């Protein structure tokens, strides 16, 4: 239920941002290439901010749900923790984002034309798959970081998530220089994964025990 609800929130944010970008494009001169590129950048940045706004709204909704579950429970405890909700919410956000990315790629793969026939990179689909994968993981980690920041009123953690989201989305404008988008994105993913692991109660000792299959 949480997974489906989070995916719905992401779809609503995508719909609103797409609508605003569509209106802006139709109201401008399509022959003005610098203006159209500027509108595309604006659309991407606005979409990121809107997604994070809906992430915050979803957190507030889940907080109200937890209060209701606590009031109804016999022992006064919620059956699900806020960390578990953050993880599931992040996974739902990432899976829906990845699904839409793959749908767009598959639509392009139907043709017409052949990738790289005019001297462009032939790694378009491969690198797009890697970018989709890193975004799914990043949304999962961002969900944990964002909810932790909201729960403990650490607004700098929330701002860090927003900045990382803007940086990863902005790096895609380096394409077709795919190194300029993939390498920074995977470095940010490693940093976000480590950060989320530590906030969730993980430690180097726990990781070592896991790798050595010790109890």
pLDDT tens string for the chain (215 positions)?
A: 666 777 787 888 888 888 888 888 888 887 888 888 888 888 889 999 999 998 898 888 888 877 776 665 666 666 677 788 888 888 888 888 888 888 877 877 777 766 666 666 777 888 888 999 999 999 999 999 999 999 888 999 999 999 999 999 988 888 777 788 899 999 999 999 999 998 888 888 888 888 888 77
pTM (2 decimals)?
A: 0.85
Residue pair 161/142 in contact by the 8 Å Cβ criterion: yes
- Which residue in 128, 173, 151, 194 sits closest to 60, CA to CA? 151
DSSP string, 51-110: HHHHHHHHHHHHHHHHHHHHHHSSSS--SS-HHHHHHHHHHHHHHHHHHHHHHHHHHHHT
């Amino acid at each position: 239920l949480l997974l489906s609800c989070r995916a719905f929130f992401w779809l609503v944010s995508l719909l609103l941002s797409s609508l605003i970008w569509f209106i802006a494009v139709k109201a401008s001169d399509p022959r003005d290439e610098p203006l159209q590129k500027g509108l595309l950048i604006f659309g991407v940045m606005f979409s990121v901010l809107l997604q994070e706004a809906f992430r915050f709204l979803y957190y507030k909704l889940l907080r109200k749900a937890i209060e209701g579950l606590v009031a109804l429970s016999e022992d006064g405890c919620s059956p699900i923790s806020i960390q578990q909700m953050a993880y599931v919410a992040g996974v739902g956000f990432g899976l829906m984002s990845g699904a839409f990315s793959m749908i767009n790629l598959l639509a392009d793969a139907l043709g017409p034309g052949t990738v790289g026939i005019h001297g462009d990179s032939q790694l378009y689909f491969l690198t797009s798959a890697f970018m989709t994968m890193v975004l799914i993981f990043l949304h999962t980690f961002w969900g944990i970081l964002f909810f932790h920041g909201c729960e403990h009123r650490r607004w700098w953690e929330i701002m860090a998530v927003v900045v990382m989201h803007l940086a990863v989305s902005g790096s895609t404008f380096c394409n077709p220089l795919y190194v300029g988008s993939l390498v920074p994105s995977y470095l940010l993913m490693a940093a976000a994964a480590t950060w989320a692991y530590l906030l969730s109660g993980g430690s180097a000792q726990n990781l070592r025990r896991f790798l050595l299959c010790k109890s």
